[in-house]
Amino acid sequence: MLRAIRYFLREGWSSLWHNKGANLLSIAIIIVSLYVLGVFLVLSTNFNHIIERWSEDVQVNIFLDENLSEPALLYLQERLSILPEIGEFIYISKQEALQRFQILFPSLQTLPDEIGENPFPSSYELKIKKEYQTIDGVRGLASRLKSLDGVKEVSYDLQWIERLSTVMKLLRVIGIFLVGVLVFSAVSTTANVIKLLAYARKDEIDIMKLVGASSWFIKGPFLVEGMLQGFIAGIISIGLLYLSYRLVAYYLALSYNLLFGFLLFTFLPLEYWLGIIGGGTLVGLIGSSISIRKFLRY
Amino acid sequence: MIQMFNVFKNYDPMSPALIDISLHIRKGEFVFVSGPSGAGKTTFLKLIYREELPTRGHILVNRRNIAKLPPSKIPYLRRSMGIVFQDFKLLNNKTIFDNVSFVLKILGVPIAITKKKVFNMLRMVDIHHKMKSFPPQLSGGEQQRVAIARALINDPALLLADEPTGNLDPELSMEIMRLFEEANQKGTTVVVATHNPALIGCISNKRVIMLDKGRIVKYY
């Protein structure tokens, strides 16, 4: 078994080397598909990070009715304390809200006097527990809060996150489609390249069959050749991805220091690297096994 | 070893290659299949190593009906045989050593044993001094000797040879026939297709099947 694997590896590598031209074409096509896949993975990983980070700061405010009685306020407070999503909450009275406004906007300090009354409603500031800091979680909580007695309005700043996650969903759909097309073309290119190589060695394959070589013994080196194509393409595409990532990060950091420096904060984690290299190897394996089959019929 | 029952083979319905062949070649026999060009000798051998299927009739090799052999079992059938092809069928991108050792590699023979066996076999057919050469660098006769070495390397139960001395001078032809005879004495069943009557004369204990236009015309 080990001897056979060694033989497959040696023959596969030797054929890859001897047919550099055709194999390079195949490797290049696999690189393109893996590179595009990688770009989408980098983007989606980073968008996910951003969404996670922004979601951590989600705060929900509920504004209360003007004439809420003391018992009604206590009842509301009790209801808030039993809601599982809420970590802690603080009550902001009308007076406190006014003071905050005056601190934040000193130039508008006299505005309430001019209006003649305190226009700010009393409210609760709610901190959401980490496990509920998702868009759906916050949206669900807000709609339940709205239905509580004494609650006039619920506000939460999720618009940006919602938009970003819509962009991400779109990106994912485009990515899946594009990568699908590219993977298909990579598989068919590998299949055709291996078919050409097998065709050039048809006599050799026939002789092997005549002297008693099994199908596995004949196709093993071709499968290894296809897998090597994908493996090499996987490694090169990871290298290219990293280079592009560093370049883009560098230029964006120069131009839009804060925003994009924040956007491009991570490269792909190790398991994605392995996934891309494994994916490339699989593309090569599928391509070569499709093409070699017809040469092995007895 | 080989039994044929009313075997017909047609590549083209108008000119059948073999017509109603029935015979029995016993284990350990030395058999010549003789006849002029186009008599059906090569087809006869191809049917035995399952390169071709009979149009009608049955062929048993080692009591197995080879027409019903599943494709996955064909390599095992061929591994029990040594075949010398008329056009040698050597792997041109492999050295002479690799061509002969390939058969042992398929069988999983350890490298140390393979090296020794291959060298001895190449010496027997007097081509060991060219074991690092490639087939296109060799003359027809030399390539034929390599093909013979490959056929004999795994001590096959059955040796099939199609015009094995076609490119050899008479002296070397006799030498090769002696090798076949030696293999036969060790128990290998030998079937040699030839149109050369002189070759038949050099083996004493043999049978001859004469073919002409696809039919057995003489059997002795």
Compute the distance between CA of residue A277 and CA of residue B202 in angstroms, rounded to an integer: 64
Judge: B102–A212 Cβ closer than 8 Å, yes or no. no
Nearest CA in chain A to B77: A212
Q: Where are the domains of chain A?
A: 2-53+162-296, 59-156
pLDDT per position as a tens digit, A187-218? 888 888 888 878 877 888 888 898 888 888 89
- The class (CATH top level) of A59-156 is alpha beta
Residue B122: its pLDDT value, please? Answer: 94
Flag residues of chain B having pLDDT under 70: none
Closest to B97 (Cα-Cα) out of B79, B116, B80, B71? B116
Indicate which of A211, A215, A219, A298 best probes the interface with B, i.e. most B CBs within 10 Å of its own CB: A211
Residue A260: its pLDDT value, please? Answer: 53
pLDDT > 70: what percent of chain A?
93
Residue A55: its pLDDT value, please? Answer: 66
Angle, helices A2-18 vs A215-255, to 10°: value is 60
Mean pLDDT of A68-92: 86
pLDDT per position as a tens digit, A115-142? 778 888 899 998 888 778 777 788 888 8
The residue type found at A284 is G
CA distances from B104 to B48, B84, B107 (A): 22, 16, 5
Q: What is the CA radius of gyration of chain A?
A: 31
* Residues of chain A with C-beta less than 8 angstroms from the C-beta of B150: 211
Residue B219: its pLDDT value, please? Answer: 76
Query: Does residue A224 have a pLDDT over 90?
Result: yes
Which H or E run includes A123? strand A123-128
Residues comprising chain A, all counted: 298
Residue B61: its pLDDT value, please? Answer: 92
Q: Which CATH number fits domain B1-80+157-220: 3.20.20.70, 3.10.110.10, 3.40.50.300, 3.40.190.10?
A: 3.40.50.300
Judge: A211–B103 Cβ closer than 8 Å, yes or no. yes
Mean pLDDT of A162-167: 76
Structure tokens at A287: 């391509």
Residues comprising chain B, all counted: 220
Residue B191: its pLDDT value, please? Answer: 94
Compute the distance between CA of residue B115 and CA of residue B117 in angstroms, rounded to an integer: 6
Residue B32: its pLDDT value, please? Answer: 92
pLDDT > 90: what percent of chain A?
11
Mean pLDDT lowest for which of A60-74, A156-170, B55-69, B85-99?
Answer: A156-170
How open is the CA angle A11-A213-A290, to the nearest 5 degrees? 65
Q: How far is B220 from chain A (nearest CA, A)?
A: 30
Residue A179: its pLDDT value, please? Answer: 80
Residue A108: its pLDDT value, please? Answer: 77
**Out of A206, A213, A298, closest to residue B106 by CB:** A213
Q: What is the CA radius of gyration of chain B?
A: 17
- For CA atoms A72, A73, A77, A83, the dihedral sign is positive
pLDDT per position as a tens digit, A237-280? 999 999 998 888 887 777 765 555 555 567 888 889 899 999 88
User: Tokens 């990293």 belong to which residue?
Assistant: A242
CB atoms within 10 A of CB B177: 23
Query: Does residue A37 have a pLDDT over 90?
Result: no
Residue B198: its pLDDT value, please? Answer: 78
Strands B30-34 and B207-212: parallel
* Residues of chain A with C-beta less than 8 angstroms from the C-beta of B79: 212
Q: Which residues contact B89 (CB under 8 A, 6 or more apart)?
A: A203, A206, A207, A210, B147
Structure tokens at A192: 């055709």
Structure tokens at A101: 């406004």
Q: Where are the domains of chain B?
A: 1-80+157-220, 90-155
